[in-house]
């Protein structure tokens, strides 16, 4: 009885300590590797989580010939055939990469949540999320993806290892332009006004009712006039600048 009580007390102290340090999701911040002679490269990345197709945003990019990398889920690709056909007609501008099958964060534990979305039950499900997402992108565009960005862009260390083993490079970001398509137009404009060479901008193309297209249009006009050159992730490498835990 005495022993059991002692072990129980010990477990109460140890368990929270080990789970807290092992299970904090990591947000990866990275930047484009710049060549000395072309130091004004920036990458625009757009997530297509679930939801709809922001045609105002994609039309703006086509009209201004601004390349972007789209991270699409299988869920989004199946729901938006018209959007997919527009993207497919402009694969010179758009690189489509893997955002997973069902938009589940790369954290293990269904009791754990990132921005209100539950994690995976186990590593097998994580593997499926990555592989089925990649298959869906290849089926829709004819091009196999090489980059992965998990739902919410948060990862467990174990998930990072697994995604790497599957052969995918993880795409982080350095400028959060629209906070999951929740930011106001003026906020998005201000964030883009602070972009520097090498930045990887993240925004969303799945919420047409948001201010994202309007805010990006002003911000991207400014960046183009300032001489920035937009690159896609299939044309560059990224380097990790820091890993932030939540």
Supply the minimum distance, in Å, between the C-beta of residue 78 and Zn ion.
15
Kindly state whether residue 49 participates in binding Zn ion, applying the rule CB under 5 A: yes
Enter the DSSP assignment of 151.
G
Residues in the chain: 246
Kindly state whether residue 126 participates in binding Zn ion, applying the rule CB under 5 A: no
Name the one range near Zn ion by CB under 5 A: 41-49, 51-59, 195-203, 212-220. Answer: 41-49
Q: Output 47 or 101, the one with its CB closest to Zn ion.
A: 47
- Give dist(CA 246, CA 197) in Å, integer: 27
Q: What DSSP element (H or E) covers 215?
A: helix 212-225
Sign of CA dihedral 152, 158, 163, 164: positive
Other C-beta atoms lying within 10 Å of the C-beta of residue 110: 13
CB-CB contact of 98 with 133 (8 Å): yes
Q: Output 70 or 217, the one with its CB closest to Zn ion.
A: 70
Counting residues that bind Zn ion (by CB under 5 A) gives: 3
Supply the minimum distance, in Å, between the C-beta of residue 1 and Zn ion.
51
Kindly state whether residue 47 participates in binding Zn ion, applying the rule CB under 5 A: yes
Tell me if residue 71 falls in helix, strand or coil: strand
Name the one range near Zn ion by CB under 5 A: 27-35, 57-65, 87-95, 150-158. Answer: 150-158
| Footprint on this chain of Zn ion (rule: CB under 5 A) | 47, 49, 151
């Amino acid at each position: 009885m005495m022993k059991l009580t002692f072990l129980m007390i010990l477990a109460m102290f140890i368990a929270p300590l080990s789970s807290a340090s092992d299970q904090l999701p990591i947000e990866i911040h990275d930047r484009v590797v710049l060549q000395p002679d072309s130091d004004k490269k920036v990458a625009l990345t757009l997530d297509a989580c679930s939801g709809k197709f922001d045609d105002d945003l994609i039309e703006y990019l086509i009209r201004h010939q601004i390349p972007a990398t789209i991270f699409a889920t299988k869920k989004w690709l199946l729901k938006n055939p018209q959007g997919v056909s527009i993207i497919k007609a402009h694969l010179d501008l758009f690189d489509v990469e893997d955002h997973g099958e069902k938009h589940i964060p790369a954290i293990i534990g269904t009791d754990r949540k990132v921005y209100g979305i539950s994690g995976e039950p186990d590593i097998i499900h994580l593997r499926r999320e990555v592989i089925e997402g990649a298959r869906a992108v290849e089926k829709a565009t004819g091009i196999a993806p090489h980059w992965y960005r998990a739902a919410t862009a948060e990862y467990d260390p174990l998930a990072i290892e697994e995604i790497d083993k599957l052969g995918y490079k993880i795409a982080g970001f350095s400028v959060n332009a629209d906070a999951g398509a929740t930011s106001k137009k003026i906020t998005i404009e201000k964030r883009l006004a602070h972009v520097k060479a090498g930045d990887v901008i993240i925004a969303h193309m799945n919420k047409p009712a948001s201010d994202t297209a309007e805010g990006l249009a002003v911000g991207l006009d400014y960046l183009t006039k300032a001489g920035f050159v937009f690159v896609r992730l299939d044309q560059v490498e990224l380097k990790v600048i820091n890993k932030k835990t939540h």
